[in-house]
């Protein structure tokens, strides 16, 4: 079985047994705990636990993302194509950080471990915890599928929250209202801590707004 076949097989066997009951926050970060359970044999299972930290969702455009580092060449070509069709079309950008904690081998069948974990979390009323059945040799695929599911469940509600506050509207420069708010917050942050100046400059450049804000930015450093 080649790698693609193994991945497809693992995807079919991976299951989100107990999803979180709370969606990702729109205006703040969210930390979700997960337990990935895989089987070593009929009577032995592996439990890995960790957490996924979802940063505050951001409103971005293809124009903005083209200036963000870390994308592959293929991704940049795709973004370029999107920018040609709608450079300033706002969308939501989610970023995550996976923080694995521990791994334990349990002398119990997979179904028993899954059931016990689910019952415990239900009894504890843990709205930000998930139990996932995975496949041992590609167990981290379960975490990736979990992250995808988090986004899928959240996006509709997040869009509604942003729209109610008028943050998806763009101005004549093609900049969403949410981005203008973020820039104002960064100006305030730099006034308190000048070490964050590079963060502000980076954000302005990504939106193509440095010239517009240059005088105001430089005034922060005048005595």
Domain ranges, ordered by start, for the chain: 3-57+94-164, 177-219
Question: Which helix (H) or strand (E) covers residue 87, if one does?
Answer: none
Q: Supply the DSSP string of 27-81, one letter for each residue.
A: SS-EEEEEEEEEEEETTEEEEEEEEEEEPPPEEE-HHHHTT-TT--HHHHHHHHH
Task: State the pTM of this model.
Answer: 0.80
The closest alpha carbon to 59, from 207, 199, 217, 188, belongs to 207
Residue with tokens 């997960």: 34
Alpha carbons 138 and 34: distance in angstroms, whole number: 16
Q: Is the pLDDT score of 223 beyond 80?
A: no
How confident is the model over 39-88, as pLDDT tens digits? 999 999 999 999 999 999 999 999 998 888 777 787 778 778 878 888 88
How confident is the model over 76-122, as pLDDT tens digits? 787 788 788 888 899 999 999 999 999 999 999 999 999 999 999 99
- Looking at residue 69, what is its pLDDT? 79
The closest alpha carbon to 48, from 147, 161, 177, 139, belongs to 139
How confident is the model over 138-175, as pLDDT tens digits? 898 899 889 988 998 899 999 999 999 999 999 999 99
Radius of gyration of the chain (CA): 22
- Looking at residue 3, what is its pLDDT? 67
**Which token pair is 172?**
């004549």
Confidence of residue 1 (pLDDT cuts 50, 70, 90): low
155-162 own/partner pairs: CB under 8 Å, 24+ apart: 155/92, 157/23, 157/26, 158/23, 158/24, 158/26, 158/57, 158/92, 159/92, 161/26, 161/27, 162/26, 162/59, 162/92
- Looking at residue 95, what is its pLDDT? 92
Distances in Å between the Cα of 156 and the Cα atoms of 19, 22, 23, 152, 162 are 17, 13, 10, 8, 10
How confident is the model over 160-215, as pLDDT tens digits? 999 999 999 999 999 999 999 999 999 999 999 999 999 999 999 999 999 999 99
Confidence of residue 2 (pLDDT cuts 50, 70, 90): low
Crossing angle of helices 197-206 and 210-219, in 10° steps, is 160
């Amino acid at each position: 079985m080649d790698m693609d076949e193994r991945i497809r097989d693992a995807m079919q066997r991976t299951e989100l047994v107990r999803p979180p009951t709370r969606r990702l926050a729109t205006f703040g970060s969210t930390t979700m705990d997960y337990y990935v359970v895989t089987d070593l044999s009929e009577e032995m299972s592996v439990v890995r636990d960790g957490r996924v930290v979802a940063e505050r969702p951001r409103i971005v455009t293809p124009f903005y993302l083209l200036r963000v580092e870390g994308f592959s060449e293929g991704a940049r070509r795709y973004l370029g194509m999107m920018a040609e069709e709608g450079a300033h079309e706002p969308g939501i950008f989610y970023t995550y950080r996976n923080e694995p904690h521990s791994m334990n081998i349990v002398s119990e069948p997979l179904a028993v471990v899954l059931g016990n974990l689910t019952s415990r979390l239900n009894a504890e009323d843990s709205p930000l915890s998930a139990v996932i059945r995975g496949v041992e040799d590609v167990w981290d695929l379960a975490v990736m599928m979990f992250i995808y599911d988090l986004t899928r469940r959240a996006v509709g509600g997040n869009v509604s929250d942003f729209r109610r506050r008028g943050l998806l509207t763009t101005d004549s420069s093609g900049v969403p209202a949410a981005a203008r708010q973020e820039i104002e917050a960064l100006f305030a942050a730099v006034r308190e801590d000048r070490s964050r100046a590079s963060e502000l400059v980076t954000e302005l450049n990504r939106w193509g707004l440095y010239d517009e804000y240059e005088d105001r930015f430089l005034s922060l450093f005048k005595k």
